[in-house]
């Protein structure tokens, strides 16, 4: 069941990649080519620098953000990068080159922040600015948003629930004769940049994703076998197959590939501690690795 759900998500993501980029399988060379066509060489090179500086376990997420940016630029035009916003936000081009944190996305990386920005702008361009926002951790449909003074039964209001995500709230007349609203969950949709970001990350997986011309190859760096071997054995003892885990891990690329094949997120909760340790191993973060290995001591 776990494997089926994971494969369903990947199949859906691959279909979106075909629709958005015309590619059968997401790959870094084609992503970079599309990015250069949409963003230009200067911005693409800056984006690739940010990708290169990210930990290897974050590289796929950064590349997915680049996919969102190139689709968003196609949708909104290259001048999106040059426009300031309301005197409060600098132009996106300035953010890209200065690493400025922009509200409300200050907890994201620069590329993720820009991808969120362009996904929301693309959603506004298609469906108009949202009248309100809701948290869909609660699936209550009734009366989740304040209504405008001119609300009338049948009116559909655009509501934000996620970056680039929108759904409608339908105005209804309550029993007491006052207007209310019901969220129409069937109207849930995402802007194309948001779809591109999600689909590239899911379809491409964790990697390895070497960048064009990257030297030295970070995936070829050796890992600490004193940590790699116990972590590999832990995965085997807890349900991963030999094919999924692969041969003994000697390089960071071996670890990244094994993490991707194991599909740890679809497994039991104890795998989260394994992920924290093995991601530190793949990222070459010695202090974090030592701390996370302590968390797994009983299981090793």
**32 & 170 share domain:** no
State the chain's mean pLDDT as an integer: 92
Task: Report which of 260, 200, 264 is spatially closest to residue 56, judged by C-alpha positions.
Answer: 260
**184 & 65 share domain:** no
**Residues 199-212: tens digit of each pLDDT:** 999 999 999 999 99
**112 & 18 share domain:** yes
As beta bridge partners, residue 167 has 159
| pLDDT > 80? residue 156 | yes
**19 & 163 share domain:** no
Instruction: Answer whether residue 48 is part of any domain.
Output: yes
Q: How far is CA 205 from CA 140, 157, 164, in A?
A: 33, 36, 22
Distance from the first to the final alpha carbon of the chain: 27
**14 & 85 share domain:** yes
In which band, very low, low, confident or very high, does the pLDDT at 1 lie, cut at 50, 70 and 90? very low
Contact by Cβ (8 Å): 64, 198? yes
Instruction: Answer whether residue 17 is part of any domain.
Output: yes
Least confident range from 26-30, 237-241, 293-297: namely 293-297
Instruction: Answer whether residue 216 is part of any domain.
Output: no
Instruction: Answer whether residue 210 is part of any domain.
Output: no
Structural domain that includes position 49: 2-125+193-204
Domain count, the chain: 3
| pLDDT > 90? residue 229 | yes
101 torsion bin: left (phi>0), alpha (psi -120 to 50), beta (else): beta
Walk across the sheet containing 165-173 and list its strands. Answer: 132-133, 156-162, 165-173, 179-190
Mean pLDDT of 145-158: 93
- Give the torsion through C-alpha atoms of 39, 45, 50, 55, to 10 deg: 120
**39 & 27 share domain:** yes
Sign of CA dihedral 256, 14, 210, 116: negative
Cis peptide before 216 (omega within 30 of 0): yes
The CATH number that applies at residue 155 is: 2.40.240
What is the pLDDT at residue 223?
95
In which band, very low, low, confident or very high, does the pLDDT at 135 lie, cut at 50, 70 and 90? very high
Sign of CA dihedral 177, 180, 185, 191: positive
Instruction: Answer whether residue 135 is part of any domain.
Output: yes
Report d(CA 34, CA 157) in Å as an integer. Answer: 35
Mean pLDDT of 54-64: 97
Contact by Cβ (8 Å): 208, 222? no
**199 & 61 share domain:** yes
Task: Tell me the three state secondary structure of residue 128.
Answer: coil
**118 & 175 share domain:** no
In which band, very low, low, confident or very high, does the pLDDT at 239 lie, cut at 50, 70 and 90? very high
Place of tokens 């995936």: 219
**21 & 106 share domain:** yes
- Residue after which a domain boundary falls, among 147, 168, 190: 190
| pLDDT > 60? residue 299 | no
What is the pLDDT at residue 4?
57
Instruction: Answer whether residue 91 is part of any domain.
Output: yes
Q: How far is CA 212 from the centre of its chain?
A: 22
pTM: 0.92
In this prediction, what percent of the chain has a pLDDT beyond 70?
Answer: 97
- Residue after which a domain boundary falls, among 204, 238, 261: 204
Task: Tell me the three state secondary structure of residue 186.
Answer: strand
**Residues 250-291: tens digit of each pLDDT:** 999 999 999 999 989 888 888 999 999 999 999 999 999 998
**Residues 171-197: tens digit of each pLDDT:** 999 888 889 999 999 999 999 999 999
In which band, very low, low, confident or very high, does the pLDDT at 2 lie, cut at 50, 70 and 90? low
């Amino acid at each position: 069941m776990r494997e089926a759900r994971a494969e369903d998500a990947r199949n859906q993501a691959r279909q979106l990649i075909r629709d958005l980029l015309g590619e059968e399988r997401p790959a870094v060379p084609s992503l970079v080519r599309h990015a250069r066509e949409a963003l230009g060489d200067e911005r693409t090179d800056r984006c690739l620098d940010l990708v290169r500086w990210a930990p290897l376990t974050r590289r796929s997420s950064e590349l997915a953000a680049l996919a969102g940016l190139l689709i968003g630029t196609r949708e909104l035009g290259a001048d999106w990068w040059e426009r300031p916003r309301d005197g409060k936000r600098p132009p996106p081009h300035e953010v890209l080159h200065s690493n400025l944190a922009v509200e409300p996305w200050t907890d994201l990386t620069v590329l993720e922040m820009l991808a969120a920005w362009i996904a929301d702008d693309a959603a506004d361009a298609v469906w108009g600015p949202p009248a309100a926002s809701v948290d869909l951790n609660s699936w209550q449909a009734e009366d989740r948003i304040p209504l405008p003074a001119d609300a009338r039964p049948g009116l559909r209001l655009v509501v934000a629930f996620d970056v680039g995500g929108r759904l409608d709230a339908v105005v209804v007349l309550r029993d007491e004769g006052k207007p209310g609203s019901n969220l129409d969950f069937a109207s849930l949709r995402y802007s194309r940049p948001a779809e591109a970001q999600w689909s590239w990350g899911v379809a491409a997986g964790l990697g390895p994703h070497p960048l064009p011309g990257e030297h030295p190859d970070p995936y070829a760096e050796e890992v600490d076998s004193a940590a790699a071997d116990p972590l590999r054995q832990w995965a085997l003892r807890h349900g991963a197959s030999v094919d999924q885990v692969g041969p003994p891990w000697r390089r960071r690329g071996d670890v990244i590939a094994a993490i991707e094949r194991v599909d740890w997120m679809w497994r039991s909760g104890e795998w989260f501690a394994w992920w924290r340790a093995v991601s530190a191993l793949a990222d070459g973060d010695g202090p974090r690795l030592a701390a996370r290995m302590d968390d797994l001591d009983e299981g090793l």
